[in-house]
Amino acid sequence: MSPVRGARERARIEVTAAIKDEARRALAAEGAAKLSLRAVARELGMVSSALYRYFPSRDELLTALIVDAYDSVGAAAEAADARTLAAGAAPRARWIAVCQAVRAWALEHPHEYALIYGSPVPGYTAPLDTIGPASRVGNALIGIARAAHEGRGIALPPLPAELRPEAVRMAGHFAEGLPPEVTAALVAAWAQLFGLVSFELFGQFTRIVEDRDAFFAHAADQLAHGVGLPAV
């Protein structure tokens, strides 16, 4: 693990990165279902069998791209949160900043977004390695709600009786310390945030929403309201 290793190790790191970069480019052209090792190799000037030195199969390459994408959007969300937090912002402003960061990342990386939040690739099942990275955006949102709860507190109407046990379970499972009604609202808002982004990216807003920045800013603010974050 010394920082400088031999030419072999450095080359391996570089080539692995080059393969993933080229695969991301291929994703944009053809989509995940048609991602082709041969096309990637061809573009890199390698022979297709050489890729097997780096990824044991096409699916492993896909997994690497998925993990990278989750980490990328997760890091963008965390960075936006850290920035607003450092600027002394209230939870509501942090929430909006995270939503904006997710949307901005999605607009910059539409094909990686589709890879992780679009239809699943048929015949591919995500391995467990993706779970951690996949939860980073959600965890950022949970952290913001927790800050609001531990600060001024969050007041939300009580849950219907049918949902209470599930909400208690969810809170205990991944949102320790948050009241069940906040946890339930949070999970819904999390899914709804990606609904807004997906509709914009996947073309459902064509001829429907034109000023998308203004629309999204308001919608994100309303999501924060739904989670009970006090207005600024």
Partner DNA sequence: TGTACATCAGTGAACGCGCGTTCACTGATGTAC
Where do contacts with a copy of itself occur on this chain (CB under 8 A)?
29-34, 114-115, 117-123, 126, 131, 134, 138, 159-160, 162-163, 165-166, 169-170, 174, 184-185, 187-188, 190-196, 198-200, 202-205, 207-211, 214-215, 217-219, 221-222, 226
Which one of DNA, a copy of itself, none interacts with residue 12, CB within 5 to 8 A by kind? Answer: DNA
When the beta carbons of 53 and 218 are compared against a copy of itself, the nearer one is 218
Burial pattern 48-64, b for ≥16 Cβ within 10 A else e, equals eeebeebbeebbebbbb
> Whose Cβ is closer to DNA: residue 6's or residue 157's?
6
Residues that bind DNA (CB under 7 A): 6-9, 11-12, 15, 35-39, 42, 46-50, 52-54, 57-59
How much helix, strand and coil, in percent to the nearest 5, is found in the chain? 70, 0, 30
Q: Rounded to 5 degrees, what are φ and ψ at 82?
A: -60, -40
What is the total residue count of the chain? 232
Dig out the tokens for 15 from the structure: 């080539």
- The rounded distance, in Å, linking the Cα atoms of 185 and 160 is 12
- To DNA, the closest distance from the beta carbon of 122 in angstroms equals 13
Q: From the list DNA, a copy of itself, none, which binds 83 (C-beta under 5 to 8 Å, kind-based)?
A: none
Residue 40 in contact with residue 22, Cβ under 8 Å? yes
Which is nearer to a copy of itself, 144 or 184 (by Cβ)?
A: 184
